[in-house]
Structure 1
Amino acid sequence: MAARREPGRKNRKEQIRKAKPSGHLIVTEGIKTETNYFNGFKNEINEKYQDTVQSYTIDIHGAGKETLRIIEEIEDYKRRSPHIFEHIWAVFDKDDFPPAHFDNAIHSAHKKGIKVAWSNECIELWFLLHFAYLDSNINRQQYYSRLDNVFKNMGIQEGYNKASERLYELLKPHQDKAIRHAQKLRKTHSEMSSFSKKAPCTNVDELVCELRGLLHY
């Protein structure tokens, strides 16, 4: 005989489906490209959980500061925010910063319990991996040029636009491929202890997979 349920009380499956996930704070080095991209995740997650008792908390903040300053920005943001975030990420690139500067920023973040989604040399590597595997260490302008060609071939007349609010939408269909490519790249650099020497390389897929988990991908 099936157990009786009190009127108006949700069954176990409904309770699990409506459970509120923990909050994320994502602080990015850039104020446009990275924030626009991760806002795509934020919008999709909030839409999924809009019927929960409490909406999902995900704050994305473009710091517009260099690597080590981003860690300080996160500490300050945590003090000012009324929300206690369980998942805290810094997102930044190697760019032209000295190798020690880049490595120290990652180690400093880890010591403070902050996860880092880093790219060497830039987040455009992560974007390009959605379309092709790349193991050549090219510069930022070359990434722009390659992405520009890719986007134009997709029918995007303006090509690659760093400030586009459609980045997430355009890249999403190719996420699985990008994740496989990023993981493959890290394996090729697995014996290198210094993050700055792993080039080209990125672990942005680790943050992406965490966010995808909230969407049950």
Structure 2
Amino acid sequence: MRKSKRLNRKVGTRPVRRKIYVFAEGQNTEPQYIRAYQRFACSSIVEVICDTQNGVPKTLLSLAEEKKSKISRRRYQRENGSRDEVWIVFDRDEHDEVDETLARAEALGIQTGYSNPCFEVWLILHFADYDRDEHRHLTQKKCENICAGYTRASRKVPDFKELLVHVQEAEQRAETLTNRRDADGGQAPLTTVHNLTKAMRIK
């Protein structure tokens, strides 16, 4: 009787998903935007874990430090790879210690999506240039006028279907704005959220 040959089959391995851990200050606008953009543009290779917290930027940084420490461990990287990132997303608003928070985040390798005076600067840039250094309430009013769906009644959540098709235009405008602030030494308006949306598209 002929013996059957044993088939040696390689066990298939699924690619490790790159993860982006985001600690966002807001409860509505920021986290809903991030989750909506993930659904709109991100590959299945990228997983965005958006953790909303009530607290000042310093509190978000503390949470991000804990996560950064965890993903830097040898065991974590052996199981998940070494490409995962940690971000904090917050506004200038009336917060204290913003400059210190930004400096410490950079030193720790924690990425920041920072907007001055508020996240609405980033939303406006999806539709138009914006370079007015004014109080955040005026910036939010401008956002109401230009962003479909964004109102106080909607808890400041825009119509993402209208918004997200313009993300790469917003990125270009945000980069231009950053270059202007570098040139004139100004603090506002400014947003670096475009660095996060770009990171979310990297496989």
Instruction: Report TM bin, short chain.
Output: 0.7 to 0.9
The alignment's TM-score, normalised by the length of structure 1, stands at 0.72
CA contact 2:46–2:200 (8 Å) conserved in 1? no
Aligned residue for 1:189, secondary structure, equals: helix
Name the aligned partner's letter for residue 87 of structure 1: E
CA contact 1:67–1:92 (8 Å) conserved in 2? yes
Cα distance, 1:162 vs structure 2: 3.8
Cα distance, 1:76 vs structure 2: 3.7
C-alpha spacing 1:78/1:168, structure 2 compared with 1 (3 Å): farther
Cα distance, 1:19 vs structure 2: 4.2
Q: Hey, what does 1:3 align to over in structure 2? A: none
The alignment's TM-score, normalised by the length of structure 2, stands at 0.77
CA contact 1:121–1:140 (8 Å) conserved in 2? yes
Q: Hey, what does 2:121 align to over in structure 1? A: 125
Q: Hey, what does 1:37 align to over in structure 2? A: 33
Name the aligned partner's letter for residue 92 of structure 2: K
Question: Could you tell me how far apart the structure 2 residues matched to 1:80 and 1:114 are?
Answer: 13
Q: Hey, what does 2:161 align to over in structure 1? A: 169
1:104 to 93, 100, 103: 100
CA contact 1:95–1:122 (8 Å) conserved in 2? yes
Q: What stretches of structure 1 move > 2 A for 4+ residues in a row?
A: 18-21, 41-46, 55-58, 75-85, 156-164, 166-170
Aligned residue for 1:23, secondary structure, equals: strand
Q: Which has the larger radius of gyration?
A: 2
Question: Could you tell me how far apart the structure 2 residues matched to 1:27 and 1:183 are?
Answer: 23
Match status 1:199 vs 2:195: no
RMSD over aligned Cα, in angstroms?
3.1
Cα distance, 1:199 vs structure 2: 0.7
CA contact 2:131–2:189 (8 Å) conserved in 1? yes
After the TM superposition, which of the residue ranges 136-145 and 166-175 deviates more from structure 2? 166-175
CA contact 2:18–2:46 (8 Å) conserved in 1? yes
Aligned residue for 2:95, secondary structure, equals: coil
Name the aligned partner's letter for residue 207 of structure 1: L
Match status 1:59 vs 2:70: no
Specify every segment of 5 or more residues in structure 1 that has no aligned partner in the other structure, as ranges. Answer: 1-7, 10-14, 50-54
C-alpha spacing 1:70/1:207, structure 2 compared with 1 (3 Å): same
Cα distance, 1:22 vs structure 2: 1.4
Specify every segment of 5 or more residues in structure 2 that has no aligned partner in the other structure, as ranges. Answer: 1-8
Cα distance, 1:134 vs structure 2: 1.0
C-alpha spacing 1:58/1:157, structure 2 compared with 1 (3 Å): closer
